[in-house]
Amino acid sequence: MKRIIEYLLLFAVLAIFLYLARGKLEAFFYNRGNNYIERSLYKEAIDSYGNAFKINPQSWQACLGLAEAYRYSKDYNKAADEYNRVLKINPLCLKAYLSLAEVYSQEGKYLEALNVISQARNKIPADSQINQSSQECCYSFVVSTLNKSTELFLADKSLDAIALLQDVLKSCPDFAIAHYTLGYYYFHIKDYDNAENSLKKSLLIDPQFNYAHKLLSQVYFEKGSFEKELSSAKDALAVSNNDASVYNDLGLALMHLERYTEAIPYLQKAVSLDPNNTDYIYSLGSVYRDNKMFEQAISEYSKLIVLRKDYPNLHNDLAEIYDNLGKHAQAVSEYQKEVAYCNQAMANNPDNPVLLNNYAYALTGLGQVSEAKVIIDGVIKSFPRYRQAQLTLSRIYDKMHKPDLALKSMEKAKQLSAGEGFIDNEITRLNKQPAFKPEVSSEQKDTIYLKNGRKLQGKITKEYPDRIVLEVLLGSSRGEVIFYRDSIERIEKIRN
């Protein structure tokens, strides 16, 4: 009996010794793992932490060390497994949450990372490190998505680019640049309502975001909300008062409201800040033109010709000014230059509606109204909501002495517009214009037969290579009418 008691005591002492030795052995392997980590010997660290964890499978510290060693050796899958094991043992281990979220972020698994951060918030609320980790994860998520969406956008996959940004903003809604980019994509596909909403969200986050103010101004222009366009342009100026593009946008906004006198100083400022910018020079020349300051307009357009003689529609604008000044030979020369430019540009882009419209406008100025009409009819068939084409068609009908059809096209242009006063003025003019029915006296013998089947009699007073001037009796007075040769079928000259 005595020997049995001695054996029992010996066994108890041995058990106590083994228990204490096991704890020391676990600590030995754990500390050695820490030493290996400090020396960047990750393989050795993994072995040491692994031994410590085998000794005590409930040692979350050893498991955490093992996860860190895997992460430093870039074995992210095993690292994630070990961090998750740590959290099963110790759900309050902040280090495991933060490191696991970082591992997922490095792997591009941002939704998984944000889910881990959400779990951390539930277990450890109101911790600043968790908030910092969330911000860093969202930043990486947004930057990565912006890069991917840009690639899609440049590959003409705008809808896919939009879908990507919409997804990231569900998880990370506090990034102004993401809302701005989404607004830009919507603007590109002409979804102006969604563009407006996205840009407003961007500005709620960052009211000083200059580009968002500028793009929102353009959105309002496209929507025909010119007062809002002006307001957004002013907001952009308040944020950045040394940006030439802001002054140009503000000047254009005032032009759209036909407040030309107010627009001039802003456009002048834009040109002074960026004197070689062709768009700004064109804007300034155009506001001079619209304000009937023709000499100043010619001066700006002449500067533009030096910088870029093929600027779109430049020569049409100059020609129209020369026509208003009665300098018809110079007008013809400018129309011919526009025709030459359009022909050259359309060799590579034959279906461009802007080029075709400018081409038809120039041909109309040269009196080639029949050819111009064929072209503009094709543009309107393909782009029925292209307002500028309706304006050009109205001009063609006006040149063809068909005020009723000119009025009809002008009214269609108004339906596609947002209250431009010049269109209302043209409609008023065309309403007052009677159908062209000249009265002729018995001594007027020259007859012009037009291709449209009509004929007119009068006295041919002047002849040019491209046009003929016919003197007719209009009521009780005489007047001159110009007919371009491409609209004439034949001419009969009879003299007494």
Whether residue 344 sits in one domain with residue 267: no
What average pLDDT score do residues 386-411 get? Answer: 87
428 C-beta neighbours (distance < 10 Å), count: 12
Res. 420: pLDDT tops 90: no
Tens of pLDDT along 313-338? Answer: 999 999 999 988 988 889 999 999 99
Question: What is the per-residue pLDDT for 424?
Answer: 52
Mean pLDDT of 383-399: 88
Q: Is residue 62 a part of any domain in this protein?
A: no
pLDDT at 5 over 60: no
Orientation angle between helical segments 210-222 and 244-256, nearest 10 degrees: 20
Asked if 455 contacts 449 with a C-beta cutoff of 8 angstroms, the reply is yes
Asked whether residue 21 is assigned to any structural domain, the reply reads no
| pLDDT on residue 454 | 67
Q: Domain check: are 393 and 426 in the same one?
A: yes
Of 54-58, 174-178, 181-185, 463-467, give the lowest mean pLDDT range.
463-467
Dihedrals phi, psi of 19, to nearest 5 degrees: -65, -45
User: What mean pLDDT comes out for the span 78-97?
Assistant: 93
Complete edge-to-edge strand list for the sheet that includes strand 477-484: 477-484, 467-474, 455-463, 446-450, 488-492
* Domain stops at, among 436, 461, 477: 436
Least confident window among 22-31, 83-92, 271-280 = 22-31
Residues 461 and 426 in one domain: no
Mean pLDDT of the chain: 85
pLDDT top residue among 67 and 440: 67
403 plus 334 within the same structural domain: yes
495 compared with 483, residue with greater pLDDT? 483
421 with 353, same domain: the answer is: yes
Q: State residue 452's pLDDT score.
A: 65
Q: Which of 278, 308, 338 is the last residue of a domain?
A: 308
Q: Are 482 and 469 in contact (CB under 8 A)?
A: yes
267 located within any domain: yes
* Residue 14 resides in a domain: no
User: pLDDT class for 426, splitting at 50, 70, 90?
Assistant: low
| 76 within domain boundaries | no
Do residues 283 and 341 both lie within one domain? Answer: no
Residue 356 lies in a domain: yes
Q: What is the pLDDT of residue 459?
A: 80
- Between 54 and 469, residue with greater pLDDT: 54
- Tell me: do 345 and 364 sit in the same domain: yes
pLDDT at residue 4, as a whole number: 60
Q: What is the pLDDT of residue 216?
A: 95
Domain span holding position 350: 323-436
* Position 377 pLDDT exceeds 90: yes
pLDDT value of position 463: 79
Tens-digit pLDDT profile for residues 237-246:
999 888 999 9
Could you give the number of structural domains in the chain?
Answer: 3
Q: Quick check: 128 pLDDT over 70?
A: yes
Asked if residue 492 has pLDDT above 80, the reply is no
Could you give the CA distance from residue 270 to residue 71 in angstroms, rounded to a whole number?
A: 54
Give domain status of residue 121, yes or no.
no
The pLDDT of residue 13 is 39
Grade residue 260 by pLDDT with cuts at 50, 70 and 90: very high
Query: Is residue 327 domain-shared with residue 414, that is, in the same domain?
Result: yes
Claim to verify: residue 348 and residue 421 sit in the same structural domain: yes
What local confidence, expressed as pLDDT, does residue 21 receive?
Answer: 47
Are residues 301 and 334 part of one domain? no
**What residue spans of 172-276 are helical by DSSP H?**
176-188, 192-205, 210-222, 226-239, 244-256, 260-273
Amino acid at 232: S
Q: Are residues 408 and 479 located together in one domain of the fold?
A: no
Does residue 418 surpass a pLDDT of 90?
no
CATH number at residue 394: 1.25.40.10
Band of residue 357 on the pLDDT scale cut at 50, 70, 90: very high
pLDDT of residue 412: 85
**pLDDT tens figures, 207-224:** 999 999 999 999 998 888
- 393 near 373, Cβ under 8 Å? yes
The pLDDT, as a whole number, for residue 17 is 38
Q: What is the pTM of this model?
A: 0.71
Give a yes or no: residue 257 inside a domain.
yes
Percent of the chain beyond pLDDT 90? 57
Are 330 and 415 contained in the same domain? Answer: yes
- Answer with the one of 308, 332, 360 that is the final residue of a domain: 308
